[in-house]
Amino acid sequence: MTSTHEGTFEGLRAQLQEAAATFADGPDALEGILLGIVDDVDHAVREPLEIFPVCHHSPASAIAMARRLREKQPKVVYLELCEDMAPLLTELRNCKLPVAVQSFATEVDGFPVEWSPLSVVAPITEASAEYQAIAYALDTPGVELVLVDRSSDHVFQWDARATQSAGPAAPDTPPAEEEAALHGDAVGVEIGDLRPRFAELEEHLLHHGKVRHWSEWWHQYVELPLGDSDHDTYRQVMLLIGSLFRRLAPGDSHRLRVDEDRERYMWTRMREHLAATGTDPEDCLYVCGAFHAASRVAEFGVHGTDTFEISPPSATTWQHGLIPSSHAAIEAQFGLAAGSVSIAATVWAKNVRRTRVEPFRLAGQAGAKKSRAKARKAVAAAAGPAEAIPPSDKLTGFLQRPPALDRLDEAELLGWSVEIVRAARRNGYLASTADAIAVFETSILLAGMRDRAKPTPYDFQDAAVTCIEKDTVPGRRDVRRLVEIMMGGDRVGQVGYEALPPLARDVHDRLAPLGLKLQQTGVQRALLDIASQPELERCSDVLWMLRHLLPQGAARPIMGERKLGERPIQESWDLALGTYQRALIELGYEGVSIEQVLDQRLRRTAYDRRATTATVLEAVEDATLYLRSRRLADELGTHALEVLSAERSVDGAPEVLRRVRRLLAYYRTSEPVLPSWIESFAKTGYAHYCTLLPTAFTDEDATVRQVAATLGFLFSMESLALSLGCDRTQLELAVVQSHPEEPSKTALLWAAQVQLGHLSRADLRAKCDELLGNPLVVPAYPRYLSGFVQALEPVPGLTDFVVEAVSNAFARLPDPVLLPWLPTLITTLRSGGSELAPLLIREAGRTFPGRLAALDAWVPPWLAQPEPEAVRPAAGPEGPRGCTLLAAHPATCDAVASLLGCEGTWETAGAARTDRPAGAVLTGRHPETAAALEVLLAGA
């Protein structure tokens, strides 16, 4: 074979050497680069195992691949793809392309924890050479498909060597469409990464090619010329481009090392397979990116050295599956121009019709036109493997050939122009037939200005933007986006039911009673009348768990809520499981059921080293709410005790108080006895917060709301804690030891003293009057009021006093002090006291008059003088009557007295004492009520 290739490119070498001497004024580095490129092409062509260079998502590569597979009919196809993804490729027939093969790991072992979760994706479209190779190998009997690229584990192993981040670089601007994020933060494995790594080179090519971005340059100068070329021309040109970009790549040592290690890895795997199976290299085809095809590593070729050692995989457990992909996701992940993959799909369909090449499609796949039998028959009917013919020099003719003058397809361009005007009018643009003519002519004009024989889709896109969009965008989509949609749109793939992991299939089965097509993209409305169809309650349980596990838009409740101790009656949901299929599939990597996944996540959250008491209590509530698991709730509740004991501040007190109150109310109404963990939590929390209370009052970092929540926990849990053996002296000592300096905390302390009985209301009212009477303290009085408002959390009985204090402030504070404080009071109530505002509003409604006319004569209750005690009327001639009903029926009173342990005897009418009033004393003091009742009864 080596002898047959001698002198193949001698003529091209001589021409390039002469050109280098002419342009560089003598031999120098330019000659070495140009001749080195020819040597790389010659080196790859000489290899006995045929190398087929490709570019990812290139229609020209896909057409050349389909043509070559039918001509050569190889028995083994080596493919540049992660070797651990091989078992998934058979599931592609159950999917609608584009989809991505994914490796996923949630728990890492051997990698930095902050990298978790690890994800590697390899997107596959129909207009790609690798899909043609996969379809040929899987549907042709006797053909073996071997993936030879590094495993998913080695992808991160080699990144770890340079201590670099595992994730790809984020784009400058996030994609606007949701489909652009279908791959998430996964590392992309791209077959045929063919783009200049030398920024100046790419800028030079774009400038002289009169294009805006790399995708347009590739379409104009590679896709179109290679679309109709023969195999040898295609192969040599792709090897030439790969060698050029490789030799002009910047000196990134880590990236170069990874590229070379990948090449060593792949050739090592291929030689191992050849040695194990005894396959003739002439019967094999190696499909790889053009960048790797022009390799000069020592391990290159079937006769290369075997010095490369493949490191063992880490202990990380990898899960594999298929996830939906989209054109926008591929463009966003690999830095392609928006709409380029859609245009490539359109070019692919056009090339198939023009060249009449029969592409390979997996039998049974959505969109396949032939069954498996027909596909096999087509391959079998093809001509046998062509006899090996020494390739000739095709590069010289290709490089010297002028651009082919492809005549203008006026019908196609006119159809585009009419269609874009129709789409623009549907989206609010004032477009007309004149605009269609303008777009048609402008496209031809732009192509001529850019030295193109015919307008490309990119020329048409620029012309449409110029002629239709002008200066405004009336709708959600601009004209550029409309052109992308017209060229094929952002096709979103779909993973079929059979290819879903067990968890996803279980979710679809359990939601089957809803009667919805959950595989479809878009939002669907689900109505659950659980009262009339109790079996739908199981669907409700699944939906609430999905809402907890999936992104917000996947399952969104419209009507209905889930609270502790409540049963659903009717619910309404907006479901988009087809749109969020990737998230549902990735749940399947974590477990076999959503209950298991939710259980694991709750445990992971609760036992995280950064978990707080409030976080653990939230996990307890979720375990009770969604899983109805008493065992898990008890376990996590016990762990909450340990977390609470380790906390040294009251930062989480508001959330702890809110959640423990809710859990306590639930257990008291639904359980015969309280769980032991919540009793221990009340007892431990009582002692714990008593210890932290004095420090919290003086700590500047502790807010008033946090201290109020601490007091709220102590007062609300006091009865339960005392019944479990706690001593109230702990709380009293903690209050006595508290000496706050901040006015709002001082007011909070006074409220606590009132609750404990250490301060009367009269004394508290006197303190407030003293503050209002002191000119030096008046500016700080609003801060005292803020403390009183927060005091409603631990001492709700002070609501009437807070209304009184606020009213006095409005009445007595000067405007320069009151007006600046009003916005602060409103924002404080909204942010930290929204649940306290209804208490104040209800109390103010009871206190203030309901009509404006009554306001002038209204006297506040706290300012009204107490009425003098009414003189008791003298007894009549029959003497004091007393409570005659009790005297007539003493049995009831005797029973109550015996129950209370009271001893006494009944007085007779004659022995009644005259030194104390007899009968109902209250009616004697306030006779108006009795008189009004008498008038009412008399009138009736």
Q: What is the dihedral of CA 794, 795, 801, 807, to 10 degrees?
A: 20
788 vs 791: CA distance, rounded Å: 5
Radius of gyration from C-alpha coordinates of the chain: 41
**What burial letters (b/e) apply to 752-776, b meaning 16+ CB within 10 Å?**
bbbbeeebeeeebeeebeebbeeee
pLDDT 10s digits, 617-652: 999 999 999 998 899 999 999 999 999 999 999 999
DSSP SS3 for 53: strand
78 vs 118: CA distance, rounded Å: 26
Q: What is the dihedral of CA 807, 812, 815, 821, to 10 degrees?
A: -50
Give pLDDT, residue 542: 93
Tell me which of 82-96, 469-483, 494-508, 557-571 is least confident: 469-483
The percent of residues in the chain predicted with pLDDT above 90, rounded, is 25
For the segment 246-268, the average pLDDT, to the nearest whole number, is 79
Phi and psi angles of residue 643, each rounded to the nearest 5 degrees, phi first: -65, -40
Give pLDDT, residue 905: 73
Residue at 230: amino acid letter: D
Going by C-alpha positions, the residue among 384, 365, 385 that lies closest to residue 375 is: 365
The percent of residues in the chain predicted with pLDDT above 70, rounded, is 81
- Residue 758 Cα distances to 117, 426, 733, angstroms: 56, 75, 12
Give pLDDT, residue 871: 47
Roughly what angle, to the nearest 10 degrees, separates helices 10-24 and 29-46? 160
pLDDT 10s digits, 808-837: 888 888 888 778 877 877 776 676 666 777
User: Which segments of 278-335 does DSSP mark as H helices, in order?
Assistant: 290-293, 327-334
Name the residue with higher pLDDT: 1 or 696. 696
Give pLDDT, residue 216: 77
- Return the structure tokens found at 565: 């101790």
pLDDT 10s digits, 712-724: 999 999 999 998 8
Task: Please tell me the pTM assigned to this model.
Answer: 0.71
Strand 494-495 relative to strand 95-96, pairing: antiparallel
For residue 52, the Cα-to-chain-centroid distance in whole angstroms is 39
Name the residue with higher pLDDT: 831 or 543. 543
Q: Residue 915: how many CB atoms within 10 A of its CB? A: 4
547 vs 565: CA distance, rounded Å: 19
Is 78 exposed, middle or buried (CB count within 10 Å of its CB: 0-12, 13-18, 19+)? buried
pLDDT band at 377 (very low <50, low <70, confident <90, very high): very low
Q: Are 115 and 153 in contact (CB under 8 A)?
A: no
Give pLDDT, residue 20: 47
Give pLDDT, residue 171: 39
43 vs 39: CA distance, rounded Å: 6
Name the residue with higher pLDDT: 270 or 328. 270
Tell me which of 344-348, 353-357, 363-367 is least confident: 363-367
107 vs 591: CA distance, rounded Å: 12
Residue with tokens 């009052």: 697
Phi and psi angles of residue 672, each rounded to the nearest 5 degrees, phi first: -65, -35
Q: Look at residue 566 and tell me whether its pLDDT is greater than 60.
A: yes
Name the residue with higher pLDDT: 840 or 322. 322
Going by C-alpha positions, the residue among 265, 263, 267, 212 that lies closest to residue 242 is: 263
pLDDT 10s digits, 749-806: 999 999 998 999 889 989 988 888 888 888 888 888 888 888 888 998 888 888 888 8
DSSP SS3 for 122: strand
For the segment 109-119, the average pLDDT, to the nearest whole number, is 83
**For residue 82, what are the β-bridge partners?**
149
Give pLDDT, residue 644: 93
Q: Look at residue 838 and tell me whether its pLDDT is greater than 70.
A: yes
403 vs 779: CA distance, rounded Å: 85
β strands within 46-106, DSSP E: 50-54, 76-82, 95-96, 99-105
3-state DSSP helix/strand/coil % of the chain, to nearest 5: 55, 5, 35
Residue with tokens 């698991």: 629
- Residue 284 Cα distances to 49, 144, 265, 277, 501, angstroms: 6, 10, 18, 12, 33
Residue at 385: amino acid letter: P
Q: Look at residue 374 and tell me whether its pLDDT is greater than 60.
A: no
Give pLDDT, residue 466: 87
Give pLDDT, residue 285: 93
Give pLDDT, residue 163: 47
Number of H helices, E strands in the chain: 40, 13
For the segment 564-579, the average pLDDT, to the nearest whole number, is 90
Q: Are 243 and 37 in contact (CB under 8 A)?
A: yes
Give pLDDT, residue 303: 86
Q: Are 304 and 95 in contact (CB under 8 A)?
A: no
pLDDT 10s digits, 725-749: 888 899 999 999 999 999 999 999 9
Q: Are 330 and 131 in contact (CB under 8 A)?
A: no
Give pLDDT, residue 639: 94
DSSP at 101: E
For the segment 261-288, the average pLDDT, to the nearest whole number, is 91
Residues with Cβ within 8 Å of residue 624, at least 6 apart in sequence: 564, 630, 633, 663, 666
135 vs 127: CA distance, rounded Å: 12
Q: Look at residue 89 and tell me whether its pLDDT is greater than 70.
A: yes
Is 197 exposed, middle or buried (CB count within 10 Å of its CB: 0-12, 13-18, 19+)? middle
Q: Look at residue 119 and tell me whether its pLDDT is greater than 70.
A: yes
DSSP SS3 for 559: strand
Average pLDDT, the chain: 81
Give pLDDT, residue 689: 93
Name the residue with higher pLDDT: 913 or 451. 451
pLDDT 10s digits, 7-36: 565 655 565 555 545 544 544 555 556 677
Give pLDDT, residue 389: 57
